[in-house]
Amino acid sequence: MTLSTTAADQAWVRETATGIGALRGRALVDTVLAAVARRLDSELSTYAELDLATLRLPDLAADRPVDRALVRRMHHQVTDHPLFAPTVRLSHPYPGPPTQVTDVVSERRWRQHALYREVLAPRGIGAHTVALVVGPTPVLRWYQFNRDRAFDPREMDLLTRLQPALIAVHGRACRPGAALPGGAALPGGAALTGREVEVLRGIADGLTVPATARRLGLAAGTARKHLENVHRKLGTSGPVATVMRAVELGILEVPGPRS
């Protein structure tokens, strides 16, 4: 069940998406880690990139001074992590929504898992972890937030709203160059109209369909119809896959201030 997002929640997502729009590299990662860690009261927040072809970690970061060997060991064991094993082993092309480890296995089983028992628990790192994937294969990119208590539905909803914006920014950071115009041809001969791209930008900024409609001066039903057309033309469903596909095709702009 989707929660009703409060005005404060929407403002936080919008401000965060706008604040990271022009950032690249470590500045982008550090800003996201700091913003989300504060919002979630995370005890340890990390970012990693995993080359699925070689299982090498070209980059990783943490939001506070920690034993780098610990962070590297955490991420080197990603092939056994309940949250990541399916993607690593099957090379799923698109990330799913933000997921807690206890959505996949029981807390009891996770506490008995070698990764938690041997690596995290001895260092006082909380058992509750949420993963926010922002990059597709072949290089998987994700943020991970750890603390001692579960993440509640409102916090998970916030991450779900923010995820498309993070996907867009990380995608553009990895694929420099100007976005294609809204009317550019897509595979199969379809094309997004300018209005469809504007609706998609609203979703990438973390807005709901009604909020996107208000931004554009449209009826909610009209905005929803535009989004349905985007899904059909891109062959996707849901905001995560749709934003990811638009980034891959060079259609979606980096989130940033809008007039």
For 40-66, what is the mean pLDDT? 80
Residues of the chain with CATH 1.10.10.10: 177-259
Cα–Cα distance list, 206 to 74, 161, 182, 193 (Å): 29, 5, 20, 21
Question: Which of the residue ranges 12-16, 57-61, 182-186 has the most confident prediction, judged by mean pLDDT?
Answer: 12-16
Which CATH fold topology does 177-259 show?
Arc Repressor Mutant, subunit A (1.10.10)
| The pLDDT value given to residue 153 | 93
Q: What distance in Å separates the CA atoms of residue 209 and residue 207, rounded to the nearest whole number?
A: 7
For 133-150, what is the mean pLDDT? 86
Which of 23-27, 142-146, 154-158, 204-208 has the lowest average pLDDT?
204-208
For 143-171, what is the mean pLDDT? 90
pLDDT at 66 over 70: no
**How much of the chain, in percent, has pLDDT values that exceed 70?**
79
Query: pLDDT of 159-206, one tens digit each?
Result: 988 988 888 888 776 654 444 444 545 655 567 888 888 888 888 877
DSSP per-residue letters across the chain: -PPPPPHHHHHHHHHHHHHHTT--HHHHHHHHHHHHHHHHT-SEEEEEEEETTTTEEEEEEESS---HHHHHHHHHGGGG-TTTHHHHHH--SS--S-EEGGGTS-HHHHHHSHIIIIIIGGGT--SEEEEEEEE-TTEEEEEEEEESSPPPHHHHHHHHHHHHHHHHHHHHHHS-SPPPPTT-B-TTS-B--HHHHHHHHHHHTT--HHHHHHHHT--HHHHHHHHHHHHHHHT--SHHHHHHHHHHTT-SPPP----
Which CATH fold topology does 7-162 show?
Beta-Lactamase (3.30.450)
Query: pLDDT of 190-246, one tens digit each?
Result: 678 888 888 888 888 778 888 889 889 889 899 999 999 888 888 887 777 788 778
